Structure 1
Amino acid sequence: MQRRNFIATAAIGTAGLAATKVTANIDSNNKDFELKNNINHSVCQWCFDSYALEDFLKVLNELGIKAIDLIGPKDWPLLKKYNIHCSMCNGAEISLTEGWNDPKNHEQLVQNYAEIIPQVAQAGYTNLICFSGNRNGMNDYVGLQNCVDGLSQIMPIAEKHGVVIQMELFNQVNHPDYMCDSSIWGVELCKHLGSDNFKLLFDIYHMQIQEGDIIRSIQNYHPYFGHYHTAGVPGRNEIDETQELYYPAIMNAILATGYKGYVAQEFITTWEDKIAALKDAFLRCDI
């Protein structure tokens, strides 16, 4: 996904944070790594793509993590081999910048999603990501209606197969000009579509940068949020004391809504031991 290009560059500038990391007390052999699992934990594979996918799935099995995000159809057989659920599927989108807000993309997107949605269901998965695309000078109201016009063509297919289409919210710092950059705009899109099979992927990192007041947003708009991503602010690094969000409180707010879906770690680690950083993040969210 294109977001990697930005993050690889940004990570260089934040590497100095590694010297101040605060780690949880984690035994190298996982003896001290035990989860309550009140939160259904997942992780975005692209953040750890220095590991071959199969090797990373073996690590998740060792940790008892049952899900992974942003995997497309070609790799689902490998997930099945290791009994890892795909908590957010991809593969139908064109790009982050070319999305449903531009009618010129509708024909291709409808074709892509009509093909992938049944595959998601057949594989036993539920969630499939989508993107608004960039504004390119377009009015937000026009873009919203364009999204409604396009997405309405695939919602009957999603409803038939029990698949939930989820549009991710981004900030304007990392993704300048992206249209779905506020909870309010995303919620209005959900209301206009009027389907339980369309939700928002609420990326906590992006929305802290873009609008803040994370817990209030969760409390107010949780019926429209179908999935959550984490990362530290600033820098999209670890969710420890080097950043400004307090994730245990955020996780408690999510649980209080009755949410039963997945929370996926999506941070770029600055630690030398990447798996130790991932363990630390899981434990901090495991309230």
Structure 2
Amino acid sequence: MPRLAANLTMMYTEHPFLDRFKAAAGDGFSGVEFLFPYEFAAADLKSRLEENGLTQALFNAPPGDWAAGERGIASLPGRESEFQRGFEQALEYAAALGNRSLHVMAGLIGSGQDRAAHRDVYLKNLAWAARAAAPAGIAVVIEPINTRDIPGFFLNRQDDAQAICAEVGADNLKVQFDIYHCQIVEGDIAVKLQRDMAGIGHIQIAGVPDRHEPDLGELNYPYLFERIDALGYTGWIGCEYRPKAGTSEGLGWAQPYLANH
């Protein structure tokens, strides 16, 4: 049975952010994730989790200048010190919120830029982050993202992500398998889940192609949930989608899983 975490960045946008925790709990979610916590005090977020009986599943390390279009800095040459400072801040928040996974975004690479140089920086930063996170029992996760949603994103394929993790060789470095992104770039979801499950640290879902509820679009999520269960995955599955209308009104697809959680 999937353990569903509501993504509070994309879901429950009918409410102010700090009120989304209560809304998610009211609909039966026991876990939440979001992109970034840094505009809020960790104590305020922790109190919302505790008041509503929620577990923090995941959030992202600082991504650089998000408003200016940056989408991570882990692979960007010359930004290593900034990456390390940001990741240390993420560890401080994780210590307060209790999550055991941190997502590190790779960043963008422009046409004509040296991919090998970016990859070298990426591996070194990931190795550093994995070492920094290990004493707290935290996993670092990296996510392949489709280039339709984020043109120029450095990491796009599941096999590339798994190869990077293998090359770094840290036990706490895993892949964040976003089914939405994988379907757009590669497809063949069930086979890739089976091939890579040992290296998957977090799963996310959304309908394809429009990133609405998982029951809208081309994927058969009840079948995929059964496959994920059969493969022994017991981690969180983040619902990282944009509700087509109201968040609560669109949760019919989730009721069999929330009711039995």
TM-score exceeds 0.5: yes
Q: Report the Cα distance in structure 2 between the residues aligned to 1:61 and 1:187, rounded to whole angstroms.
A: 34
Query: Equivalent residue for 1:133?
Result: 107
Task: From 163, 188, 202, give the equivalent of 1:227.
Answer: 202
Partner Cα separation in structure 2 for residue 267 and residue 223 of structure 1:
25
Whether 1:199 and 2:174 are equivalent positions in the alignment is: yes
Alignment equivalent of 2:95, drawn from 92, 104, 121: 121
The answer as to 2:20 corresponding to 1:56 is: yes
SS for the counterpart of 2:237 is strand
The change in CA–CA distance for 1:274 and 1:153 in structure 2 (over 3 A counts) is closer
Report the secondary structure of 1:153's partner residue: helix
Is 1:66 the counterpart of 2:30? The answer is yes
Q: Match of 2:255? A: 283
Question: Which of these residues, 28, 43, 46, is aligned with residue 76 of structure 1?
Answer: 46
Query: Which SS does the other structure have where 2:128 is aligned?
Result: coil
Question: 1:284, CA displacement in angstroms?
Answer: 6.5
Aligned to 1:43: 6
In structure 1, distance between residues paired with 2:218 and 2:89: 41
Determine if the alignment matches structure 1 residue 243 to structure 2 residue 237.
no
Alpha-carbon spacing, 1:123–1:274, altered in 2? closer, same or farther (3 Å): closer
Residues 82-136 of structure 1, C-alpha deviation per residue, up to 9 Å, x if partnerless? 2211101235332453421112221101111123214413432211111111121
- 1:60 Cα shift? 2.4
2:149 corresponds to:
174
Aligned residue for 1:274? 247
Q: SS of 1:132's equivalent?
A: coil
Contact 1:165 1:198 in 2 (8 A): yes
CA spacing shift, 1:43–1:186, aligned 2, 3 Å: same
Query: Which residue is equivalent to 2:135?
Result: 160
Deviation at 1:80, TM superposition (A): 2.4
Distance of 1:72 and 1:182 partners within structure 2: 27
Q: Which runs of 5+ in 2 are unaligned?
A: none
Per mean C-alpha deviation after superposition, the further-off stretch among 199-208 and 83-92 is 83-92
Partners of 1:62 and 1:283 lie apart in 2 by: 12
SS at match of 2:210: coil
- Identical aligned pairs, as a percentage? 21
Letter paired with 2:249: A
Structure 1 residue matching 2:133: 3-state secondary structure: helix
SS at structure 1 position matched to 2:152: coil
1:210 offset after TM fit, Å? 0.7
For the residue of structure 2 that corresponds to 1:104, the secondary structure is coil
When the two chains are superposed, the root-mean-square deviation of aligned CA atoms in Å is 2.0
Give the AA of the match of 1:72: P
Contact 1:202–1:225 (Cα < 8 Å) also in 2: yes
Q: Which amino acid aligns with 1:206?
A: H
Aligned to 1:7: none
Residue 17 of structure 1 aligns with which residue?
none
Change (3 A) 1:210 1:79: same
Q: Secondary structure at the match of 1:255?
A: helix
Gaps of 5+ in 1: 1-37
In 2, distance between residues paired with 1:182 and 1:285? 29
User: Which residue of the partner structure matches residue 226 of structure 2?
Assistant: 252
Contact 1:93 1:129 in 2 (8 A): no
Query: 1:220 Cα shift?
Result: 0.3
Task: Classify the secondary structure of the residue corresponding to 1:263.
Answer: strand
Q: Deviations over 1:224-247 (max 9, x none)?
A: 21111111111111222x410000
Q: Distance in 1 between matches of 2:116 and 2:198?
A: 22
Please give the alpha-carbon distance, in whole angstroms, between the structure 2 residues aligned to 1:84 and 1:68: 7
TM-score computed with the length of structure 1 as normaliser: 0.79
Is 2:59 the counterpart of 1:89?
A: yes
Shift of 1:140: 4.0
Matched, 1:186 2:161: yes
- Please give the alpha-carbon distance, in whole angstroms, between the structure 1 residues aligned to 2:116 and 2:195: 22
Aligned residues: 247
Q: Helix, strand or coil: the match of 1:51?
A: coil
